[in-house]
């Protein structure tokens, strides 16, 4: 004979004040863990969307990112002549020489806060190389002019970075924003693209660039492409798959997010488990006569243990469900933070991941179950005779 499940559920409802308080603690655990997973996932996906398996990025050897890479622009010709580079519609190699710098700008909502925005100097070949980039307002910058376009993630959030606005690139040289673009939700949407020649002349960088990105005929073409460029020991350049590059620069910040989320979750989990235990111990104390009646009716100690254990599982599952629901609300938020790997501001969103949400819900349920196990064990040990006399 087994105690009906509705008996435990009814008791949760009868004591709904303590049930809600305990469920809220478990929900907080699940929310923090799920949110940290979603934040890390959003960061990684934003960066990885910028990486294509068929594209390769060439930088100065030993440079961690584009912003600290610098070599002669003539290398772009070597890249274009390397084996495996795909030709565009006009028969020219799909190769884009680019320069990158970080520019301090003030936030519109907090002018006292200055952040670093990545500025990318490009040529028209950058648009042919990246078909995912499309204009949503205005037009592309004209070659040889002091014009720029801004990524959709930056529009109207930073001083001057809006269509029709302007910013100072260097020593009083004003750059006009003539358009805004999207790039399939990738990290490029957190950049400003300016004419490469304009950037070079403004900063006295003539003849030098930060990187060269090339479109390969297939992922398999990377090996012969890289081998050909490795023969150039004078310039000191190296090649990397674009997707591998963005995965590498995402690992640092995403790891920190998960680690901090895990630490906070562990602290909250201990508190939630203690709260669940206190709630269930109080329930056992209040229901000692009920337990005695159940024992007198023939229910075994194991039946009592299972009933109270299932009650704590149901309580934990309730809290976990609330935590997941709250975490999903964060998908409507935009997050802006500095990517420690590149030093530039990056805007992204919380991104739900089925496995991560399931793990967070399981962790919350486990916390509540552990907190309710020992009270359930105590309930199973209640003496029927003593309980009836109490």
User: Is 353 found in the same domain as 376?
Assistant: yes
Residues 153 and 187 occupy one common structural domain: yes
Q: Are residues 79 and 23 in the same domain?
A: no
- Residues 303 and 358 placed together within one structural domain of the fold: yes
In a domain, 36, yes or no: yes
Does 58 score more than 60 pLDDT? yes
270 and 363 in contact (C-beta within 8 Å)? no
- In this prediction, residue 254 carries a pLDDT of 65
CA distance 45 to 30: 22
Q: How confident is the model at residue 50 (pLDDT cuts 50, 70, 90)?
A: confident
Query: What is the overall mean pLDDT for the chain?
Result: 82
Single residue among 235, 268, 291 that ends a domain in this structure:
235
Using CA atoms, how far residue 308 sits from 4, 7, 67, 319, 370, in Å, is 11, 10, 59, 17, 12
Domain count across the chain: 2
Cα–Cα distance between 152 and 190 in angstroms, integer? 7
pLDDT tens-digit profile of 238-264?
899 998 888 888 776 666 666 777 777
Buried b (16+ CB within 10 A) or exposed e, 274-291: ebbbebbbebbeebbebb
Greater model confidence, 322 or 50 = 322
Q: Do 193 and 325 belong to one domain?
A: no
Residue 314 phi/psi, 5-degree rounding, is: -65, -40
Grade residue 20 by pLDDT with cuts at 50, 70 and 90: confident
For residue 121, is pLDDT > 90? yes
Q: Same structural domain for residues 108 and 192?
A: yes
Confidence of residue 36 (pLDDT cuts 50, 70, 90): confident
- pLDDT given for residue 134 in this prediction: 94
Is 185 in the same domain as 323?
no
Q: Among 201, 235, 269, which residue terminates a domain?
A: 235
Whether pLDDT at 233 is above 70:
no
385 has a pLDDT exceeding 60: no
Question: pLDDT above 70 covers what percent of the chain?
Answer: 84
Q: Which pLDDT does position 330 carry in this prediction?
A: 85
pLDDT > 90? residue 73: yes
Q: How far apart are CA 103 and CA 112, in angstroms?
A: 16
In-domain check, residue 243: no
Mean pLDDT (whole number) for 364-377? 78
pLDDT at residue 208 greater than cutoff 90? yes
Per residue in 308-345, pLDDT (tens digit) is 777 778 888 888 899 899 989 888 877 776 665 566 77
Give the other-Cβ count within 10 Å of 232's Cβ: 12
Tell me, yes or no, whether 138 and 44 share the same domain: no
Quote the CA–CA distance of 129 and 213 in Å, as a whole number: 8
CB 102 within 8 A of CB 67: yes
**Domain coverage including residue 275:** 5-48+249-389
Tell me 351's DSSP state.
Answer: -
What is the pLDDT at residue 183? 92
Last residue of a domain, one of 235, 264, 279: 235
Average pLDDT over residues 177-204: 92
Whether residue 57 is contained in a domain is answered as: no
């Amino acid at each position: 004979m087994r105690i009906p499940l509705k008996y435990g559920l009814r008791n949760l409802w009868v004591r709904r004040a303590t049930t809600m308080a305990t469920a809220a603690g478990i929900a907080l655990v699940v929310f923090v863990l799920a949110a940290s997973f979603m934040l890390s996932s959003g960061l990684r996906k934003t960066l990885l969307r910028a990486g294509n398996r068929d594209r390769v990025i060439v930088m100065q050897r030993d440079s961690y990112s584009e912003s600290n890479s610098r070599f002669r622009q003539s290398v772009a010709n070597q890249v274009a002549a390397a084996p495996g580079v795909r030709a565009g519609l006009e028969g020219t190699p799909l190769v884009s020489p680019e320069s990158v710098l970080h520019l301090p700008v003030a936030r519109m909502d907090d002018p006292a806060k200055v952040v670093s925005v990545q500025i990318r100097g490009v040529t028209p070949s950058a648009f042919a190389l990246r078909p995912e980039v499309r204009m949503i307002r205005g037009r592309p910058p004209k070659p040889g002019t002091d014009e720029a376009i801004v990524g959709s993630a930056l529009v109207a959030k930073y001083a001057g970075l809006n269509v029709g606005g302007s910013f100072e690139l260097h020593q009083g040289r004003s750059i006009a924003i003539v358009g805004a673009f999207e790039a399939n939700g990738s990290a490029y949407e957190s950049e400003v693209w300016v004419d490469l020649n304009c950037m070079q002349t403004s900063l006295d960088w003539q003849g030098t660039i930060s990187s060269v990105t090339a479109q390969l005929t297939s992922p398999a073409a990377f090996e012969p492409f890289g081998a050909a460029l490795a023969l150039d020991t004078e310039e000191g350049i190296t090649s990397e798959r674009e997707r591998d590059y963005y995965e590498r620069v995402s690992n640092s910040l995403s790891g920190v997010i998960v680690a901090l989320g895990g630490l906070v979750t562990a602290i909250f989990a201990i508190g939630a488990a203690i709260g669940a235990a206190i709630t269930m111990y109080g329930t056992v104390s209040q229901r000692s006569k009920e337990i005695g009646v159940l024992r007198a009716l023939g229910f075994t100690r194991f039946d009592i243990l299972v009933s109270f254990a299932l009650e704590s599982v149901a309580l934990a599952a309730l809290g976990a469900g609330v935590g997941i629901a709250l975490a999903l609300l964060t998908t409507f938020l935009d997050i802006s933070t500095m990517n420690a790997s590149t030093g530039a501001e990056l805007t992204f969103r919380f991104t739900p991941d089925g496995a991560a949400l399931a793990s967070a819900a399981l962790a919350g349920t486990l916390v509540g179950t552990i907190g309710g196990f020992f009270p359930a064990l105590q309930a199973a040990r209640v003496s029927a005779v003593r309980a009836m006399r109490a």
